[in-house]
């Protein structure tokens, strides 16, 4: 999968893809991430990419022209399955969307900043909008990092069988069960006996029970189905 990201703050995306699982995915050639600086498409020598909103009001708007120039330049080389704009007024990103997007070959992600991007870009170039929750971030970059992480780990070959995404919270609308590691007793707190039993059937049943109980307690909304 190739993911191109248009941003005015590429520095915000310097680190998230260079560690741990995503780093490995890139090294294995399973994931390619490119950040494109919108300023390279500025409308003048001053590097201008934003302007005041028509009608007045606080904050700046990312202008249509640099965005279109960047998008169309990238589209010369790549046919994108989706052109995604990150915005708090988009539909909420979730595991189901992550699963679906992870099947694509090429994605173009657009990070807004300030007051957002000119609505005409949203009307004519964006194919999908996403929010990562009901709070406001200063820009779409951290949201883009969240989405790239969620997709990257789903790509075939990125996770080993043991860490398979099939067992994640949310994959079956259930939260994950509790996990324990050595020692068996820590400060007097013992690991549940069943996990030491070696009885795989009982362990599976216990995990399933714990998942259901946790979900009932913490996220009953997940059990109400789609």
Q: Do the beta carbons of residue 217 and residue 178 sit within 8 Å?
A: no
* Total length of the chain: 226
Nearer to ligand 6GU, 66 or 90 (CB): 90
Selection from 69, 46, 68, 50 nearest residue 59 by Cα: 50
87 part of the interface to ligand 6GU, by CB under 6 A = yes
132 part of the interface to ligand 6GU, by CB under 6 A = yes
Q: How far apart are CA 206 and CA 194, in angstroms?
A: 8
Region of 1-9, 12-20, 125-133, 215-223 interacting with ligand 6GU (CB under 6 A): 125-133
135 part of the interface to ligand 6GU, by CB under 6 A = yes
CB of 179 to ligand 6GU, least distance (A): 29
Helices (H), 87-199: 95-101, 119-124, 141-152
177 part of the interface to ligand 6GU, by CB under 6 A = no
Question: How far is CA 226 from each of CA 5, 179, 222, rounded to the nearest angstrom?
Answer: 31, 27, 8
Region of 14-22, 86-94, 163-171, 196-204 interacting with ligand 6GU (CB under 6 A): 86-94
Contacts with ligand 6GU by CB under 6 A: the residue count is: 13
CB of 128 to ligand 6GU, least distance (A): 12
59 part of the interface to ligand 6GU, by CB under 6 A = no
| CB environment 121-145: b (16+ within 10 A), e (fewer) | bbeebbeebbbbeeeebebbbbbbb
Task: Give burial (CB, 10 Å; 0-12/13-18/19+) of 169.
Answer: middle
Q: Pattern of binders to ligand 6GU over 138-157, x per CB under 6 A?
A: -xx--x--------------
* Interacting residues toward ligand 6GU by CB under 6 A: 86-88, 130-133, 135-137, 139-140, 143
């Amino acid at each position: 999968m190739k993911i191109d990201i248009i941003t005015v703050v590429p520095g915000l995306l310097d680190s998230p893809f260079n560690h741990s699982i995503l780093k490995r995915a890139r090294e294995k050639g399973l994931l390619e991430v490119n950040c494109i600086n919108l300023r390279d498409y500025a409308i003048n020598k001053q590097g201008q990419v934003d302007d005041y909103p028509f009608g007045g009001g606080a904050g700046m708007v990312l202008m249509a022209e640099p965005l279109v120039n960047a998008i169309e330049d990238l589209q010369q080389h790549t046919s994108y399955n989706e052109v995604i704009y990150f915005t708090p007024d988009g539909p909420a990103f979730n595991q189901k969307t992550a699963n679906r997007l992870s099947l694509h070959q090429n994605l173009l992600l657009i990070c807004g900043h300030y007051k957002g991007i000119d609505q005409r870009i949203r009307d004519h170039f964006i194919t999908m909008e996403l929010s990562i929750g009901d709070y406001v971030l200063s820009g779409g970059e951290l949201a883009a990092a969240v989405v790239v992480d969620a997709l990257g780990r789903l790509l075939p070959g990125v996770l080993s069988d043991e860490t398979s995404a099939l067992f994640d919270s949310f994959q079956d609308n259930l939260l994950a069960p509790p996990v324990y590691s050595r020692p068996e007793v820590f400060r007097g707190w013992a690991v549940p006996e069943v996990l030491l039993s070696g009885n795989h059937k009982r362990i599976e049943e216990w995990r399933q029970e714990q998942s259901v109980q946790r979900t009932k307690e913490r996220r009953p909304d997940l059990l109400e189905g789609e």
